[in-house]
Amino acid sequence: MNNVYISAYGLTKFRRSNDSIYLLAFEAIRDLINRFNIDKDSIDGIIVSTTSTEPYIANILADMLSLKPKISYKHEQLCSSGTSAIASAYAHIKAGLCNNILLIGVDKYDTIGKRLDWDIYRGEFKDPVYWAALYAKAHMKSFNTTKEQLALITVKNRKNALNNSYAYFQKPVDINDVLNSKTIVEPIKLLECSYVCDGAAAVLLTNKESSIKINNIGTYSIGASISSIRDLRSIESTYMAARIAYNNANINANKIDVAEIHDAFTICELLAYEDLGFVEKGRGGRFVEDIIDNKANVMINPRGGILGTGHPIGATGVAQIIGILNAIEENKYGLVHNMSAAGTTSNVIIMERI
């Protein structure tokens, strides 16, 4: 089967605006085409990752571009739509259904995708922050993880975002800013929550050899009901998706040089350190400190994570991929971790610069 590469990308500034979803998407596409001098007529597939309710977006964008693609559809899996669509684009190319897929992630700040309105029979936790609070309490109780360690995740990611001109947040915060921000649900503070904003991110997946290769993909969903979450100190879907990806790639976590982690809330990033295998279970709090002290042997969220860049839901997974594209060095591996709905679904993409 063909290998699949990512040969181009485009982004919008992440923002809050009155711009339509089409304008946002087109801005990222134009950036991709101009930045990499892409012959748009080579594009034979277009997939749109979004939680927008607008129908037929992929086909409307194809028309705006005067394309006649073989594959054209809208793809939705809440906050992990972007990497779920990456897996699908990869599959379509591997299966020979097309050669060059333009994948656009796009969403608006007011999308219905930011609420878990269907989350009725698992406690009416319609806002994901309730789940973050449960996970945080469990980790703090079991492993003596501190509020300060969690807050440092925001400090670190907001700092990294200062080097990313596309990020929503462009001001640093210190630990006291985080700890003194409003409590949303104890122990989660306002500055530990990602901000849902407007944005678009586009990548071109292709079977034509290029320097960034998709090495392997691991995806996994657990049941979303409270009873299926057996241990609040771990995200099972992340653990499983990572093992699938590592096994398929025949590598382990030590091989990963740089990772984009789904830090929708600080506790999500901390749990992912452990569930992705960068550090053993329970050591996530100390690992934050190690990262800040430059003692960790993996770079985490160099583009600023979701806490630093903002969270245009359908675009996030695609923007994470671009984060790795820009950070990964030759002969090294990068990893993207993207998840949805309190860990119901996790997708892990292993990339390689060749």
Least gap, CB of 92 to its own copies (angstroms): 5
Residue 92 interacts with its own copies (CB under 8 A)? yes
Least gap, CB of 120 to its own copies (angstroms): 10
Residue 320 interacts with its own copies (CB under 8 A)? no
- Pairing assessment for the beta strands 5-11 and 199-206 based on DSSP bridges: antiparallel
Least gap, CB of 320 to its own copies (angstroms): 17
Contacts with its own copies by CB under 8 A: the residue count is 56
**Contact call for residues 45 and 98 (beta carbons, < 8 A):** yes
- Alpha carbons 264 and 105: distance in angstroms, whole number: 17
Phi, psi of 35 (to 5 degrees): -65, -35
Least gap, CB of 107 to its own copies (angstroms): 11
Among 35, 40, 70, 208, the residue binding its own copies under the rule CB under 8 A is: 70
Among 41, 118, 247, 252, the residue binding its own copies under the rule CB under 8 A is: 118
Q: Look up residue 328 and give its DSSP letter.
A: P
| Binding mask of the shown chain, residues 234 to 263, with x at each position contacting its own copies by CB under 8 A | ------x---x-------------------
Residue 84 interacts with its own copies (CB under 8 A)? yes
Residue 58 interacts with its own copies (CB under 8 A)? yes
Among 40, 95, 110, 170, the residue binding its own copies under the rule CB under 8 A is: 95
Residue 53 interacts with its own copies (CB under 8 A)? yes
DSSP string, 16-38: --S--HHHHHHHHHHHHHHHHT-
Phi, psi of 187 (to 5 degrees): -100, 20
**Contact call for residues 52 and 45 (beta carbons, < 8 A):** no
Among 12, 77, 145, 266, the residue binding its own copies under the rule CB under 8 A is: 77
| Binding mask of the shown chain, residues 153 to 192, with x at each position contacting its own copies by CB under 8 A | ----------------------------------------
Instruction: Please give, one letter per residue, the 3-state secondary structure of 252-284.
Output: CHHHEEEEECCCCEHHHHHHHHHHCCCCCCCCH
Of residues 167, 125, 153, 152, the one with CA closest to residue 320: 167
Sequence-separated (6 or more) residues with CB below 8 Å from residue 164: 303, 304, 308, 309
Q: Look up residue 41 and give its DSSP letter.
A: G
CB atoms within 10 A of CB 250: 9
Inter-axis angle of helices 236-249 and 266-275, to 10 degrees? 40
Least gap, CB of 338 to its own copies (angstroms): 13
- Alpha carbons 287 and 278: distance in angstroms, whole number: 9
CB atoms within 10 A of CB 147: 18
Residue 317 interacts with its own copies (CB under 8 A)? no
Q: Residue 91 or 354: which CB sits closer to its own copies?
A: 91
| Binding mask of the shown chain, residues 187 to 226, with x at each position contacting its own copies by CB under 8 A | ------------------------------x-xxxxxxx-
Least gap, CB of 221 to its own copies (angstroms): 5
Least gap, CB of 301 to its own copies (angstroms): 25
**Contact call for residues 345 and 50 (beta carbons, < 8 A):** no
Among 55, 165, 171, 230, the residue binding its own copies under the rule CB under 8 A is: 55
Least gap, CB of 194 to its own copies (angstroms): 18
Residue 83 interacts with its own copies (CB under 8 A)? no
Binding site for its own copies (CB under 8 A): 1, 51, 53-56, 58-60, 62-63, 66-78, 81, 84-85, 87-88, 90-92, 94-97, 112-113, 116-118, 217, 219-225, 228, 240, 244, 340-341, 344-345
